[in-house]
Amino acid sequence: MKFDIVVADVDETPIPGETPVAMVSRLALAKSIAAQAGPRVVTLGCDTTVALDGLALGKPGDAAHARAMLLALSGRAHEVITAFCLSSQGEVLAAEAVTTRVFMRAIDDAAAVAYVATGEPFGKAGAYAIQGEGGRFVDSIAGSYTNVMGLPVDEVLPCIARLVPAAIEPTG
């Protein structure tokens, strides 16, 4: 089975009044459809956001925005929501949104500034990467760790296995 990574050209601008779950679901579908390259191709499109108090934070635009996001998350819980969509020939084969609750430690301004200076927060929903240096700010999670990284593997793999059984081979 052959896999390719395709960056889909999709406008990620939120629609006014759109909930975080609706936004990532819409974008995952759009990315899956936009990436399709042929009649026998199954594509996986995904999108992730961080939601605080029901509002999507998105990715930081600059250092000040990243710092502000980190300080807003400081000492609080938020949700990481990732939607994925598997499609073929314009037809949705499977779609799901996965939510993980993340509890952050208190982050002081100096720690936020130092972390932003690493460059890691850029391109990351919520301005942190749990699998990187940003993981030190996470106190605990309730749900999928891989979801917080951006792809809920435990939910995606069974969908792929149902659709394309030969694509998933058992490991050790």
Catalytic residue set: 47
Q: What's the CA gap between 72 and 57, in Å, rounded?
A: 10
Tokens of 81: 């929501």
Q: What's the CA gap between 50 and 127, in Å, rounded?
A: 9
Tokens of 76: 């609080």
Those residues whose C-beta lies under 8 Å from the C-beta of residue 91, and which sit 6 or more positions away, are none
The pairing of strands 55-56 and 43-52 is antiparallel
Burial class of residue 111 in the structure, from the number of CB atoms within 10 Å of its CB (0-12 exposed, 13-18 middle, 19+ buried): middle
Tokens of 13: 């601008």
Helix (H) or strand (E) holding 101: strand 91-104
Residue type for 93, please?
L
CA-based R_g, the chain, Å: 17
